[in-house]
């Protein structure tokens, strides 16, 4: 009978630590990037992780799920691969040689194409979790973690992205509400005719509000719908993005008339006739 895949929690290996029970390494296919996947080909996942044990086991399980995986152990090389484009998801460590993970996350969110990001890191403090999420990561998993849980999160994240893409194709027309014009295909937005620059997460949040004008959403509702996973304890990440949106779409962010606070309940985008605080 074939040996079962290792599914125990993965722990970061420290220099000098005995290498007990290390799984057999997967074949090294190099760092050449395969051509962009066609619609009927597997989704492409880039792993930027300098711990070979973690990268090997994670790659093994993702390939078992029919994903195409490319691994880089260096931050600078990982950033170069990311900039070549064509990735469906990025699994990113924070502590990397060359370029650190937070800088890669920041650079990824400055790119035109949106790539979902899951951060995995031994930095498990609340500060690092919040910073990673506010820089635009979609999820954050502290080491040690369960490989099966991470694979499940990858699947959930890709399902959410696919659902948003389908919704965008259905709602192909520009949404006009509360003085806002939002084009889901071009991912562009304007306020009273003036173009505004939004990060991918800010755009997703504004687009979600625009599809449900007048409806109140709690911070957890917004985390689930826009971030795509329950980040319990990090609802204030929503507050940060709301404040950034208000700074871009409100004439006076201190007296908002578009994104309104409903005290004790959450936030809503003012429906026609409701543009008052």
CA distance 115 to 91: 10
**Residues 208-257: tens digit of each pLDDT:** 999 999 999 999 899 888 876 555 556 778 888 899 999 999 999 999 99
134 has a pLDDT exceeding 70: yes
pLDDT tens track for 76-112? 999 999 999 899 999 999 989 999 999 999 899 888 7
Distance CA 211, CA 5 (A): 43
d(CA 222, CA 230) in angstroms, rounded, equals 10
Got the DSSP string for 132-177?
HHHTT-SEEEESSEEHHHHHHHHHHHHHHHHHHHHHHHHT-SPEEE
Give the model's pLDDT for residue 127.
Answer: 72
pLDDT at 27: 38
What lies within 8 Å, CB to CB, of 32 at 6+ separation is: none
Rounded to two decimals, the pTM is 0.63
Structure tokens at 247: 């700074």
| Beta strands 9-10; 68-72: pairing state | unpaired
Q: Which domains does the chain have, with CATH numbers?
A: 41-166 (3.40.50.2300), 173-269 (1.10.10.10)
Spatial separation of the C-alpha atoms in residues 77 and 271, rounded to whole Å: 47
How far CA 15 is from CA of 19, 48, 92, in Å, comes to: 10, 19, 20
Cα distances (angstroms) measured from residue 56 to each of 6, 22, 51, 145, 194: 11, 10, 9, 14, 48
Longest dimension (CA), the chain: 68
Q: Is the pLDDT of residue 36 over 90?
A: no
Dist CA 247 CA 270 (whole Å): 16
Kindly report, residue by residue over 153-177, the tens digit of the pLDDT.
999 888 887 776 666 555 556 888 8
């Amino acid at each position: 009978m074939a040996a079962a895949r290792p599914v125990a929690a993965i722990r970061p290996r420290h220099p000098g630590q005995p290498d007990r029970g290390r799984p057999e390494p997967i074949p090294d296919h190099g760092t050449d990037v395969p051509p962009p996947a066609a619609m009927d080909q597997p989704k492409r996942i880039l792993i930027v992780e300098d711990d070979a044990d973690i990268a090997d086991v994670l790659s093994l399980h993702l390939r078992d799920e029919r994903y195409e995986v490319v691994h880089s152990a260096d931050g600078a090389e990982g950033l170069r691969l990311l900039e070549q484009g064509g990735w469906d998801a990025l699994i990113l460590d924070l502590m990397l040689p060359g370029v650190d993970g937070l800088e890669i996350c920041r650079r990824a969110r400055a790119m035109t194409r949106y790539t979902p990001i899951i951060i995995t890191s031994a930095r498990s403090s609340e500060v690092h979790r919040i910073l990673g999420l506010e820089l635009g990561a979609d999820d954050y998993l502290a080491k040690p973690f369960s490989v099966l849980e991470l694979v499940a999160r990858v699947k959930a994240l890709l399902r959410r992205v696919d659902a948003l893409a389908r919704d965008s194709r259905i709602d192909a027309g520009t949404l006009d509400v509360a003085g806002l014009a939002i084009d889901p295909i071009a991912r562009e937005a304007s306020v009273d005719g003036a173009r505004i620059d939004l990060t991918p997460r800010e755009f997703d949040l504004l687009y979600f509000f625009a599809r449900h004008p007048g409806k109140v959403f709690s911070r957890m509702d917004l985390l689930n719908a826009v971030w795509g996973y329950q980040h319990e304890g990090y609802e204030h990440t929503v507050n940060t993005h709301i404040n950034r949106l208000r700074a871009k779409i409100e004439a006076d962010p201190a007296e908002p008339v578009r994104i309104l606070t409903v005290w004790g309940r959450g936030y809503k985008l003012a429906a026609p006739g409701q543009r008052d605080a």
